Chains A and B, each alone.
Chain A
Amino acid sequence: MTELTRDLVIVGAGAAGIAAALQACALGLRPLVLETSPRARPARSSTPWSSSSPDEEALARYLGLAGSGAIEVLRDAAVLGDFPDAGLVVLCADRIHHVRARQWIVAPAQRSFCPAFSGRDGPTVVDADDLPEAWGSGRIGPAARVVVAGAHAEQLRIAALLLREGARLAAVACASAHPPLDGLDGALLPLRPAHGIRRVDGQRITLNALDSDQRPIAGTEACVEADAVVVVYAFQSATELTELLGCAHEPSPDGVGWRCVRDPFMRTSIPNVHVAGEAGQGALIADLQGRVAALAAARALGRRSGAEIDVIAAPLCARLERHREQAMAAIERTRIRPGLFELLDDDAPVCPCEGVSAGALRAALGRDRALLPDASALKLSTRVGMGACQGRGCEDQVRHLLGVSARFTRRPPLCPVPLGVIASDAVARYAGAPEAPGAPEASGPEGGPLPPT
């Protein structure tokens, strides 16, 4: 057990977290950065497969400052949760750290999102997030026949990159009728605008034409043969931590998932918590938001006067505003529309963690709709969303099946942790203290029988 109490803690070391750390350093702060990459690849260097990685120059400066101790870094740190009695509980190399801070900047990881379809969990389907690894390991290599399916602008960039690296594109299926080429040569790509994946059976991929609401058009199924299907539909920011911290969230503008609400200074609805980075909007916006968040945190810590901060922040906020407008316009073109969730055969794995198919959910709703008013009720009765991923991958699909806004309650721990690690922390932290202090009710004020366990 380690207790770490700091002025400023930055959770996440992607483009936004690194920018926040550099800015905080420049203001004379010594931030603690929890490197929490779900890929276990702290301070990742940029890869051609992702446009959200920090640039090399910022990364080099960050690593330099981390090396000199100007930035304090906890590597391989997985946040288990935020607890009223124990602060932020962080798992780091099989040890528990309890972290407290006067100001927080949460720079959440981004993850690719893909709607469910039959065969979604099969070996030929590769998420955008897994592409660098799949390419590096040769799972997809030059000469492979690849279908690239998706909606996000990154889809076409990735398709062009695959082509350049020697892959053979069997089809590029875009949910949008007008894929944003953004300077790419559309003639080189076997584009299928307004198409989505119906199902994947090994190397046999069935595509479906989509209407303007991205709803499948009956009778348009067509098969393509390929060795791999790369899916690039949308990117989501991890919101589990900001949800546990109690920050307000709103539906994400790109049509899937949630977004932590923030003001122009990246302040959330919880006074000492800032958030930085916008999934799917690239490294530049992440960088600007990280710097603005650090400025706001420094001001809250009293390190700089408001006027001084405003002078530095004003041009950053203006640039951010401009880039955000562009990004929002791009999102509007590539946004996932509700019809896409109807490309769902009964054997589609909606919740791969718990093995819950679309058919099982439809059956439960068909039988018990009156008893299942919301996502939590469906979760409890079918286990959908109960797995280690906390339901982030299936929430949107569940919302569509239910026809009402769906939100799963996040539960600690945010990632699985061996019981032995928690038990050791309990022994170190609470040894000798009387059992269950602060819970007189539960022990029975009159010494009576215990309440239900």
Chain B
Amino acid sequence: MNVVDAVIVGAGITGCGAAHHLARAGLSVVVLERSAPNRGASGRNAGSLHFQLQHQAPELGPEQRRMLRATVPLLREGAAAWRRLSEELEDDLELEQHGGLMIAESELDVARLQEKHAMEQAWGMRTELMDRASVRSALPGLGEQVQAAVFCPEEGHANPRLVTLALARSARRRGAVVLSGAVVTAIRCEGHSYQVRTADGQRWSAPVVLDAAGAWSGAVAALVGLSLPVEFVPLQVSATERTAPSLAFNVQHVGARLSLKQMRDGSFLVGGGWAAEMRTIEGTTPDDSAVRVRYESLARNVAVAVRVLPSLAAVRLLRTWTGLAAWTGDGLPILGESPAHPRFYVACGGNGFTLGPVFAEVLAGLVLGTASVLELSFLSPARFQPAALGAGSA
């Protein structure tokens, strides 16, 4: 039996980020990872940092709008957490916060974009509505149909290949242990501590458990008896060959699924939440081997990208890959302590890569008992527990 201050399940951006903060505070930490560090969505996503409202915001009902509005401070802190992280870490994360555009092509798109921008203004977000002339002068290569855009100066990207490893490296330098191939099979609460067992028979005891297992968070929470509506969402991303720098902003689309950016090495990443094909086998937990690239998603994703940035037509596609993201029942992050399991904390869902650094800060703050500027009780796992029905709107 190994006794530590905290067991973290999942060596993704959130788990390794929390390990980095806790190890810096002097805690003994072990990170248990079912496959390898950065193997899940943290290392497979397209690296976007999204801090404006997503494109469906105008279509939300009043209750969903109220919840979304409550996440605005989390988005603001999320952007600041990236800046803090790049200062704290020795390694280069290829972090660029040079701004992001959400473009509109049709009249309908423009109306939606304007409504979204009005919501952002009402909620105190720093975004700017650009008309056709100003968006085209900011990015002359855009397709003819582009009519308008919302610009968010804090948006940008970091390199998903590098971030989680940099966090894990920092945590290890301060004594944290990161174990690959450590599949957690049991978590039992005994008195004031948790007994955590892995498939290979190792046992860990700690007063604190952090569930940062991404798409597998629900399965991990279930081990302790906490039921969370976390589903696996198979998504895919494409990368091109490297070309000379020509795209200085992240580009999203208000009426179509698109995230497009040029990385520091000159390659373009094309994504936007397009579904991959997942084979589910009854009674088993999915893993990445069950997911394959869906051609329709690839082709239509690329078609949107080429329409928005026509010069991409001549750039060659090198690789399309898949990953499993977490989808929570209401699309909002799950962040906080289990109502029935003291000091068992969960962080998953939402825009996992964008929010990973702030999730890590929040989790570390909860463990260390430091005061937070954020009011996050509405994101608590308690909102899904039967006893708390109605608590979300209280």
Contact = CB atoms under 8 A, between A and B. Distances in A.
A40 interface: no
Given A368-B169, A370-B178, A447-B64, A412 B293 contact: yes
A263 interface: no
Given A441-B231, A451-B235, A436 B300 contact: yes
B327 A419 contact: no
Interface in A221-257: none
Contact of B165 (A368, A422, A436): A368
A302 interface: no
Contact of B298 (A422, A427, A437, A443): A422
B353 A452 contact: yes
A273 to B, nearest CB: 16
A419 B231 CA distance: 32
Given A422-B298, A426-B303, A441-B275, 15 more contacts: A89-B295, A371-B172, A373-B36, A377-B36, A380-B38, A387-B318, A411-B321, A416-B316, A417-B317, A437-B296, A443-B273, A449-B350, A452-B45, A452-B48, A453-B237
B270 to A, nearest CB: 8
Interface stretch (A80-88, A125-133, A195-203, A336-344): A80-88
A16 to B, nearest CB: 27
25 contacts: A85-B294, A368-B165, A381-B38, A381-B162, A413-B320, A416-B317, A418-B313, A418-B317, A419-B270, A419-B313, A419-B317, A425-B299, A426-B296, A426-B303, A430-B296, A436-B274, A436-B300, A448-B332, A449-B331, A451-B235, A451-B273, A451-B331, A452-B351, A453-B45, A453-B237
A372 B161 CA distance: 12
- The 7 A-B pairs of least Cβ separation, nearest first, read A448-B331, A420-B313, A439-B275, A86-B295, A426-B299, A83-B295, A426-B303
B92 interface: no
A319 to B, nearest CB: 38
B383 to A, nearest CB: 13
A442 B274 contact: yes
Given A83-B292, A85-B277, A448-B56, A435 B321 contact: no
Contact of B180 (A89, A373, A418): A373
A428 to B, nearest CB: 10
A416 B294 CA distance: 17
A105 interface: no
Given A367-B169, A380-B161, A426-B303, A452 B325 contact: yes
A403 interface: no
A450 B56 CA distance: 8
B257 interface: yes
Contacts of A420: 306, 312-314
B201 to A, nearest CB: 18
Nearest to A372: B36
Contact of B296 (A81, A86, A377, A446): A86
Contacts of B329: 446
A95 to B, nearest CB: 13
Given A83-B295, A377-B38, A380-B38, A449 B319 contact: no
A211 interface: no
Interface residues of A, number: 53
B16 to A, nearest CB: 9
B198 to A, nearest CB: 15
Given A83-B292, A423-B302, A448-B331, A453 B235 contact: yes
Interface string B314-345: 11111111000111011110000000000000
A450 B272 CA distance: 9
Given A439-B275, A449-B68, A449-B350, A412 B320 contact: yes
Interface in B269-317: 270-275, 277, 292-300, 302-303, 305-307, 312-317
Given A446-B330, A450-B273, A452-B45, A418 B314 contact: yes
Given A418-B315, A435-B257, A441 B299 contact: no
A363 interface: no
Contacts of A412: 293, 298, 319-320
B259 interface: yes
Interface string B79-96: 000000000000000000
A411 B180 contact: no
B59 interface: yes
Given A84-B277, A84-B292, A452 B317 contact: no
Contacts of A81: 293, 295
Contacts of B313: 418-420, 423
A89 to B, nearest CB: 6
A429 B298 CA distance: 12
Contact of B306 (A372, A423, A450): A423
A85 B299 CA distance: 12
A374 B38 CA distance: 12
Given A373-B36, A435-B257, A442 B275 contact: yes
Contacts of B297: 436, 439
